[in-house]
Amino acid sequence: MPSYYLYNFVLILESVRKLHGHLLTPKEEHLLRTFEGMGEGAKRLYIRLFQRKGPWFRTATLSYPEIDVLDATLELQRLGFCETLEGVHDRDITPDLLNTLSKYQLQAVLRAAQGTFLASLGAGMRVADIINAITGTAYTQQTLDGRSVLSKVVERELRSAAPRAEAALPTVAPSGDRPRFCAIRLSRPSRDLFKRMQRLFFLNDTQDMTLLLLVGMDKVKYPAYACPHIDIHAWKSPT
């Protein structure tokens, strides 16, 4: 069971609290205590996502052998460390969310946005251009539940990769049809706090936990400095 990333993350938090604890606000201290008290699975999932690009992550693609993703997600949500997207509405269709989809999936969304069944639509476009075309389209066709066809297509594509994984992620208080999370993201207060603590640990913006991992795997080695012994009592100035 991999534990290197959990150990390294805790090492960063403990070191920064010891050396720079006076820089933390009471709210940040509360967040740290809450994180320390949560289950190991929730900690592991949070750290896994913290090291990824984000901000949104499709639940259909979250699979870690050492983590029960369902339990961890529910605990993170309950403690305010992540936000979940249970159903997609027009206001949710942002570049950040669309960037979690493949180009093939984005083409399907673009067809829905432009009301066409032309399979080749978007084939010669870059991903960024397809996303711009989707978000820039005023598409108002509604379904019976009041949502647009576009929002339903986006939700379908978010869930499409691994139905079994999605079905394992109900909401905290599921209704009769057990709605499911289709995407989650880390809460901004917690993410901002841990990014700041990471900067305080490395004292720059360029290094992160990857460095600690590479050192632990002997992929990066610090130089071995040879310090010759000098008898300062016998040393004489050349002048």
174 belongs to a structural domain: no
Chain segment 41-56, per-residue pLDDT in tens = 999 999 999 988 889 9
Domains: count for the chain: 2
194 belongs to a structural domain: yes
Residue-level pLDDT at 238: 59
31 belongs to a structural domain: yes
Among 138, 164, 190, residue at a domain's last position? 164
Question: Is 128 in the same domain as 108?
Answer: yes
Q: DSSP assignment, residue 180?
A: B
Question: Is 5 in the same domain as 77?
Answer: yes
Chain segment 192-207, per-residue pLDDT in tens = 999 999 888 888 877 7
Q: Which residue has the higher pLDDT, 170 or 52?
A: 52
Question: Is 135 in the same domain as 115?
Answer: yes
Residue-level pLDDT at 206: 77
Which of 38-42, 117-121, 156-160, 232-236 is least confident? 232-236
The structure's pTM equals 0.75
- Return the amino acid letter for 216: G
With 80 as the cut, is the pLDDT of residue 169 above it? Answer: no
Residue-level pLDDT at 178: 38
Among 119, 138, 164, residue at a domain's last position? 164
Question: Is 63 in the same domain as 111?
Answer: no
pLDDT winner (highest mean) among 34-43, 78-87, 156-165, 219-228: 34-43
Q: Which residue has the higher pLDDT, 218 or 200?
A: 200
Question: Is 187 in the same domain as 81?
Answer: yes
In terms of residue numbers, what domain contains 151?
Answer: 88-164
Question: Is 80 in the same domain as 1?
Answer: yes
SS3 of the chain: CCCHHHHHHHHHHHHHHHHHHHHCCHHHHHHHHHHHHCCHHHHHHHHHHHCCCCCEEEHHHCCCCCCCHHHHHHHHHHCCCEEEECCCCHHHCCHHHHCCCCHHHHHHHHHHHHCCCCCCCCCCCCHHHHHHHHHCCCCCCECCCCCEHHHHHHHHHHHCCCHHHHHCCECCCCCCCCCECCEEEECHHHHHHHHHHHHHHHCCCCCCHHHHHHHHCCCCCCCCCCCCCCCCCCCCCCC
198 belongs to a structural domain: yes
- Return the amino acid letter for 144: L
76 belongs to a structural domain: yes
Chain segment 79-110, per-residue pLDDT in tens = 999 998 887 888 888 899 999 998 889 988 88
Question: Is 25 in the same domain as 80?
Answer: yes
**Quick one: angle between helices 4-20 and 26-37, nearest 10?**
150
With 50 as the cut, is the pLDDT of residue 21 above it? Answer: yes
Which of 16-25, 34-43, 184-193, 199-208 is least confident? 199-208
Averaged pLDDT score across all residues of the chain: 79
pLDDT bracket for residue 27 (50, 70, 90) = very high
Chain segment 135-156, per-residue pLDDT in tens = 887 655 666 566 777 888 888 8
8 A C-beta contact, residue 5 and residue 51: yes
pLDDT bracket for residue 190 (50, 70, 90) = very high
